[in-house]
Structure 1
Amino acid sequence: MLGWGGGWGATYDDSHAYLLDVTSGATLLSIPFGHSVDALAMVLGELREVSGHIENLRPEVTHVTSGAVAAKSAEDQIAVTGVLESGAVAAMHFRGGESRATGFHWEINGTEGDLVVKADQAQWWSGRLRLYGARGSDGALTELPVPARYQRSLTQWTGRSAEPAYNVAHEYALLRDQITGRLAPDTDGVPDFRHAVRRHGMLEQIREAARDGQKVTLAEQGS
């Protein structure tokens, strides 16, 4: 899984100055990486153990208009490797700033096939995702259509997946279906407060692994 942050690059503006301070809680780890590793865990299963590097390679950044130099304590590079509860190996690299090459790329290689998830923007959860796949004797990846059942009767959003509100609308539809009894609790991707606490606990353990330079076991995160 490869992605960039949008923020936490070589420059900043007034509306995003709060991102510079690691104590604000709005960091590359908690936002782009946090959303992405959450998706990985919900699709492929929880991480069992991790090791990694979290670095601040740009301790000083420049204001886009005034040229003023400001200190930055928040990280701008995250490289994490780990083992899932299934035994599969995962590798994730997130960089601050913007990339001309790759917005978001998630590649899943299985015994019977391959899947690739792509997005042009760093905040992939607020825009259009493209899914590609191949299996068996297929010689190349082909784009896979999203099954109609994922529209959840929100036909007014058909063809509008590039809009930020698209994702929010479907999350509320999932919550509605759970509240009305159409879904069983803790199923089909409906996160709750317990899920958030578990995920942020996992992020803190990833930070601990990077700080201490040691492999950390995350077995309790799946509980």
Structure 2
Amino acid sequence: MTSASPHQGPIRVGVVGLSAHGGWAATAHVPALTGLDGYELRALSASSAESARAACEKYAVPLTFSSAEELAHSEEVDLVVVTVKVPHHLDLIRPALEAGKPVFSEWPLGADLAQAEELADLAHHRGQLTAVGLQARSAPPLRYLRDLVAEGYVGRVLSTSMLGWGGPWGATYDDDHAYVLDVTSGATLLSIPFGHSVDALAMVLGEFCEASAHIENLRPEVTHVTSGAVAAKSTEDQIAVTGLLESGAVAAMHFRGGTSRATGFHWEINGTQGDLVVKADHDHWWMGRLRLYGTRGDDGGLVELPVPVRYQRSLTHWTERDAEPAYNVAHEYALLRDQITGTLEPGTDGVPDFRHAAQRHRMLEQIRAAARTGRRTTLAPWARR
């Protein structure tokens, strides 16, 4: 099954990293897959045979495999979904690509740019369909926001400001998130909260063409939430990026590690004729309910802008589930299903693929370079390598 050969029948999914004890696969991927037509959750592999059996029983999955490689080579699996921690992505995604299977990987694609490029190149050379979990691009409110901007709701965009935060990179840590303390894990404030957010901003307003940055680790030691043990942290906990978008608009993004006592997330777009605002309640804002507000001319204060039903596409039964972590993931799976089956409506964006992911990794590395040098950096054109 490739992007050039539409699939017939239900898409049989094998998930790498589904655990009976919870996690992102259980929280978002399983509800999304089971809540959509056209998919069958067929197989899984986990960190151990015992863990795989437990997950199989809990989620009623017919097939279990002792390794991601065995799962990828199964004739019972059409699509491999990789939902494990970032440091393991390369070793678990590569076998699926080598087996000729389409792959949906969570973001970040790799622990670093080199890994992301290796996977993107392998998929491209084999002509395989891929997807990466930058699900904000599939969120109905953000697709509506993009159209509002394109249709001139705010006039010419003059500036945009985004303020956010990321809990796991604060003053404390727990056992599940100890790995994010190490910058070499690839699971950082820059790659995850900032990476998801800048990708969403770019989808709505266009890419950065130049930027200045400060990336700081102001808490090099953090405390375990229960034991009180002190651990070293090499990942950043403050990111401030300012620059120009390709349109000429000024952009500013500030992301903070830990929990905010004030503003959790706020995104504002200012134009010659109006303003738009995006608000969210969740620190990982791309996972939860989004609310849009706008005002134009002399209309007065901000008013909420309901998302038209057409942005739900065929997922109107998900309308009341927009606060669930599975909501935006389900919309991405719906787009992926339509790509796989060859039924994607003309003019509709597909899902971000591995090449898109590698380009986003490259952009983040350029921002790191800008922070290291302390100079304004011209970012390489998005579509070029």
With the shorter chain as reference, the TM-score category is: over 0.9
Q: Which runs of 5+ in 2 are unaligned?
A: 1-161
Query: Please, what TM-score do these two structures have when normalized by structure 2?
Result: 0.56
After TM superposition, the structure 1 = structure 2 runs for residues 74-223 of structure 1, keeping only pairs within 5 Å, are 74-179=235-340, 180-184=342-346, 187-188=348-349, 190-223=351-384
Aligned: 1:22 with 2:183: yes
Q: Distance in 1 between matches of 2:310 and 2:332?
A: 14
Partner of 1:5: 166
Deviation track 1:38-89 (CA, whole Å, cap 9, x = no partner) reads: 0011110011001110000000000111111000000000000010011001
> What SS class does the counterpart of residue 321 from structure 2 fall into?
coil
**Matched residue type, 1:183:** E
Deviation track 1:156-214 (CA, whole Å, cap 9, x = no partner) reads: 211110000011100111222334243358x5362111111111100000001001111
**Matched residue type, 1:73:** S
Aligned: 1:43 with 2:221: no
> What SS class does the counterpart of residue 48 from structure 1 fall into?
strand
> What SS class does the counterpart of residue 2 from structure 1 fall into?
strand
Q: Distance in 2 between matches of 1:30 and 1:184?
A: 32
Q: Which has the higher helix share?
A: 2
Q: Distance in 2 between matches of 1:189 and 1:79?
A: 30
Query: Please, what TM-score do these two structures have when normalized by structure 1?
Result: 0.96
Q: Distance in 2 between matches of 1:56 and 1:49?
A: 23
The answer to whether the Cα contact below 8 Å between 1:78 and 1:93 also exists between their aligned partners in 2 is: yes
> What SS class does the counterpart of residue 199 from structure 1 fall into?
helix
> What SS class does the counterpart of residue 159 from structure 1 fall into?
helix
The answer to whether the Cα contact below 8 Å between 1:42 and 1:189 also exists between their aligned partners in 2 is: no
Q: Distance in 2 between matches of 1:189 and 1:133?
A: 27
Q: Distance in 2 between matches of 1:22 and 1:184?
A: 41
How many residue pairs get aligned? The number is: 222
1:102 Cα offset (Å): 1.3
Q: Distance in 2 between matches of 1:26 and 1:177?
A: 30
1:149 Cα offset (Å): 1.1
The answer to whether the Cα contact below 8 Å between 1:178 and 1:184 also exists between their aligned partners in 2 is: no
4+ residue segments displaced more than 3 Å: none
The answer to whether the Cα contact below 8 Å between 1:56 and 1:73 also exists between their aligned partners in 2 is: yes
The answer to whether the Cα contact below 8 Å between 1:3 and 1:122 also exists between their aligned partners in 2 is: yes
Q: Distance in 2 between matches of 1:131 and 1:90?
A: 19
CA RMSD of aligned residues (A): 1.3
Q: Distance in 1 between matches of 2:355 and 2:285?
A: 24
Structure number, greater radius of gyration: 2
Deviates more, 1:151-160 or 1:88-97: 151-160
Q: Which runs of 5+ in 1 are unaligned?
A: none
Deviates more, 1:126-135 or 1:210-219: 210-219
